[in-house]
Amino acid sequence: MTRTDVVARLQDRRAAGGTIVVAGVGSGLTAAAAVAGGADLIATYGTAVYRILGVPTALAFLPYDDANKLTFGLLPEIVGRSGDTPVIAGLGAHDPRRSVEWLVDAAIEEGATGVTNEPFAGIYGPALRAELEAAGYGFGREVALLEAAARRGMLTLGWAFDDDETRRLCDAGVDVIGAMAGITTARADGDDAAAAVDRLGSMVEAARRARPESIVLLHGGPLGDPPAVAAALARTGADGYATGSSAERTPVFAAVRDAVAAFRAVPPRG
């Protein structure tokens, strides 16, 4: 499926009033399950590998692995289990040993239809972000990665952490804009959750002003279950949601726990 075909399909779903869902997965099993559930797109990235290991997602942003190597290791498994559903590869543009063109070519070779800028410098504090940007390895290089992917005919999903990043993605012609609230957490109280949704809403508005036809998705922060996502979509006017732990770690843990508990409850013979 070409980039044009995928964008047209997403626009048709939006026009029909449907919620666009991108499923972030870290295994072939969860990719197949997401496809069976009707995901519009499958995304895989190094963060999901850590999620599958059962450790905090935040560990994926510390220097214990080569994030791009993790993604390329996953892609054959994910592509093989995703059928006709397009797969997006999360690539770290900041790798000083690989050009963004090399990363895009490698993703194409492994069967990816699209590229997204994950891991992202935006997950870090402003001091580190500023250092990376000044050296040419910050958000600007993430935009360059997405532009390189578009030149090769790939779908692009760009994640932004604020209004300025949102506008830069729109100006670069990124196909799908992701408004990011950070790592998904159940610890946000009412005030923090409301503030996070307000920030997401501001990014949605920034995207609409920059490019009215923009497809905008939400992710992270307090958006950990369908009711929270429904409320955020209604409040912000975004077009959909990208899952992560919310449709992989949390439901898998609960399903395995309940299945084992049910087997333990089976009466013994005799």
Q: 40 pLDDT band (50/70/90 cuts)?
A: very high
Say what the pLDDT of residue 248 is: 96
pLDDT at 184: 87
pLDDT at residue 270, as a whole number: 61
- Mean pLDDT is lowest, of 40-54, 150-164, 184-198, 210-224, for 184-198
191 band by pLDDT with thresholds 50, 70 and 90: confident
Q: Which residues have a Cβ under 8 Å from the Cβ of 208 and sit 6 or more positions away? A: 214, 216, 237
Give the residue-averaged pLDDT of 230-254. 96
Give the total number of structural domains in the chain: 1
Task: Write down the pLDDT at residue 123.
Answer: 93
Tell me, what's the pLDDT at 177? 98
**Within-domain flag for 269:** no
263 occurs within a structural domain: no
Range of the domain at 29: 3-254
Structural domain includes residue 51: yes
What CA–CA distance (Å, rounded) separates 175 from 170?
A: 8
Of residues 44, 118, 52, the one with CA closest to residue 85: 44
Count of residues in the chain: 270
Is 203 inside any structural domain? yes
**Contact yes or no for 225/188 (Cβ under 8 A):** no
Query: Has residue 121 been placed in a domain?
Result: yes
Considering the domain boundaries, does residue 266 fall inside one? no
* 212 in a structural domain: yes
Beta carbons within 10 angstroms of residue 268's beta carbon? 4
Q: Give pLDDT, residue 132.
A: 94
If pLDDT is split at 50, 70 and 90, which confidence band does 192 have? confident
**Distance between CA atoms of residues 121 and 154, nearest Å:** 22
Answer for the pair 180, 220: CB distance below 8 angstroms, yes or no.
Answer: yes
Tell me the average pLDDT across 198-212. 97
Q: What is the pLDDT of residue 4?
A: 95
Q: What is the chain's mean pLDDT, rounded?
A: 95
User: Residues 127-158: pLDDT tens digits?
Assistant: 999 999 999 999 999 999 999 999 999 999 99
Cα 161 from chain centre: 13
Residue 87 located in a structural domain = yes
The yes-or-no verdict on residue 186 having pLDDT over 80 is no
CB atoms within 10 A of CB 132: 17
**Rounded distance, CA 207 to CA 202, Å?**
9
**In this model, does residue 189 exceed pLDDT 80?**
no
What is the amino acid identity at position 196? Answer: A
* pLDDT at site 268: 87
Q: Please report which confidence band the pLDDT of residue 269 belongs to, taking 50, 70 and 90 as the band edges.
A: confident
Report pLDDT for 144: 98
103, pLDDT greater than 90: yes
CATH number where 12 lies: 3.20.20.70
- Cα(157)–Cα(177) distance, integer angstroms: 6
